[in-house]
Amino acid sequence: MRMFQRAAVGAAVLLLSGSALAPAAFAADNIAADLDQPLWYQAPSEKTLELAKVDDLSSTVVSDGQRGEKGVLGSSIQLTPEQIDKVKAGNFKVAISLGWLGDDWASEQLNGLKETFASLGIEVVAETNANWDDAKQISDLDSIAVLKPDLLVSIPLNGQTTAAAYKRIADAGTKVVFIDQAVDGMDPGKDYVSIVSSDNLALGMYIADELARAIGGKGDVAAMYFANDFYVTNLRYEGFVARLMAKYPDVKLVAAAGHDDPNKGQEVAQALLARYPTLNGLYGSWSIPAMGAATAAQIAGLSPENFKIVCENFDQIVAANMAGKGFIAGISSQRPYDQGAAEAKVGALALIGESTPPYVVVPPLAVNRENLPASYKTIYRHDLPADMSAALSN
């Protein structure tokens, strides 16, 4: 998740991005009253706060879709043998338009998509990488439109600027499955098939669990959130705050700071640590900003024994840092391969005229040093690499 939406943001480092504080009814002593919240922030609802009290969320759908759609577990999306035969007989073609490639989340997502499509006899006729540039994604989509695929699976980098390009493809008869978010002006069941995403509120709650565990259930912490208004990362931050409010009264969120570029993690973390030098821990967004925060902590003279960083997404770099007793103490991971497989199955069902749920979620996985080998096997489908295993045994 690292998910981008190129909304207008004043600066890459947003230490003062404040909005209205949470309503008094939902105030909590462990959330600083003067916390600078992102402009898109909404205080956790009563429903979210109730769900935040539930310890095991593995079989509970916590998040709703952008338009309030109820989520359905991705594991429930299966094809019967008869449906598989019908899909194979259709000789369907699919295009995959991703916002970026080159990290583990994108690679595993693509693997899940391609392997599932291959098993269903659906030909992949295009794979595009916008490289974090929504203008490039619009160009990619226009090129895909010429191919007239039966199905498009894509993650929009920007729900506003790319909307017209997606709408043109849908209007031409291509069925669209969105990854993580839809675009403006398109509705489920009419303009697109479904959104498939991680359960991002739950993912944020697991981040809070791991941070609380790492610091022994007590201390001052900060959060480094993604500043742009992107639905899935908004939910993660909201879930993190809700879980602290509901379960961890002795873990105090004393500061929050935003970034609109993952490569600014070190800069943002340095500013936080300069202003709050006695922090016990930090929620560091996803892997790239979190590793920047680890560098900032090292420069500040902190050690992994007295300062803990948690993040979302189980990339190799944070897994290796965790195995080596570095600053990364906990990870709340999406299951990108499983998400890709669910996207492919939803798309295949739509191609043969079957109804599909408008919002499909894949539960996250909480990872720490104790369950690192098993978690790695779950996410990557092979054993922990030898170098990480050696580091873990030290």
Identify whether the C-beta of residue 66 lies closer than 8 Å to the C-beta of residue 45.
Answer: no
Summary mean pLDDT of the chain = 91
pTM value surpassing 0.85: yes
More confident residue, 348 or 261: 348
Q: Of 2, 47, 355, which is closest to residue 180 (Cα–Cα)?
A: 2
* Residue pLDDT, tens place only, 144-180: 999 999 999 999 988 899 999 999 999 999 999 999 9
Domain with CATH 3.40.50.2300 in the chain: 69-196+336-360, 200-334+366-393
Third-level CATH fold of 69-196+336-360: Rossmann fold (3.40.50)
For the chain, how many residues are written? 394
* Residue pLDDT, tens place only, 350-366: 999 999 999 999 999 99
pLDDT band per the 50, 70, 90 thresholds, residue 391: very high
Identify whether the C-beta of residue 70 lies closer than 8 Å to the C-beta of residue 47.
Answer: no
| 289 CB-near residues (< 8 Å, 6+ apart) | 224, 259, 262, 263, 264, 265, 268, 269, 311
Q: What is the mean pLDDT of residues 17-29?
A: 48
If you classify domain 200-334+366-393 with CATH, what class do you get?
Answer: alpha beta
3-state secondary structure the chain: CCCCCCCCCCCCEECCCCCCCCCHHHCCCCECCCCCCCCCCCCCCHHHHHHCCCCCCCCCCCCECCCCCECEEHHHCCCCHHHHHHHHHCCCEEEEEECCCCCHHHHHHHHHHHHHHHHCCCEEEEEEECCCCHHHHHHHHHHHHHHCCCEEEECCCCCCCCHHHHHHHHHCCCEEEEECCCCCCCCECCCECEEEEECHHHHHHHHHHHHHHHCCCCEEEEEEEECCCCHHHHHHHHHHHHHHHHHCCCEEEEEEEEECCHHHHHHHHHHHHHHCCCCCEEEEEEHHHHHHHHHHHHHCCCCCCCCEEEEECCCHHHHHHHHCCCCEEEEEECCHHHHHHHHHHHHHHHHCCCCCCCEEEECCEEECHHHHHHHHHHHHCCCCCHHHHHHHHC
pLDDT band per the 50, 70, 90 thresholds, residue 15: very low
Task: In whole angstroms, give the CA distance from residue 232 to residue 312.
Answer: 12
Residues facing residue 220 across a β-bridge: 252
State the pLDDT at residue 28: 85
283, with CB counted inside 10 A (0-12, 13-18, 19+), is buried
Residue 71 has pLDDT above 50, yes or no: yes
* Residue pLDDT, tens place only, 303-352: 999 999 999 989 999 999 999 999 999 999 999 999 999 999 999 999 99
226-232-238 Cα angle (round to 5): 70
| 282 CB-near residues (< 8 Å, 6+ apart) | 221, 222, 223, 224, 269, 272, 293, 297, 307, 308, 309, 310
Task: In whole angstroms, give the CA distance from residue 60 to residue 5.
Answer: 28
Residues facing residue 331 across a β-bridge: 311, 367
Task: In whole angstroms, give the CA distance from residue 163 to residue 350.
Answer: 21
* Residue pLDDT, tens place only, 281-297: 999 999 999 999 999 99
First to last CA, the chain: 30
Angle formed by the axes of helices 372-380 and 386-393, to 10°?
160
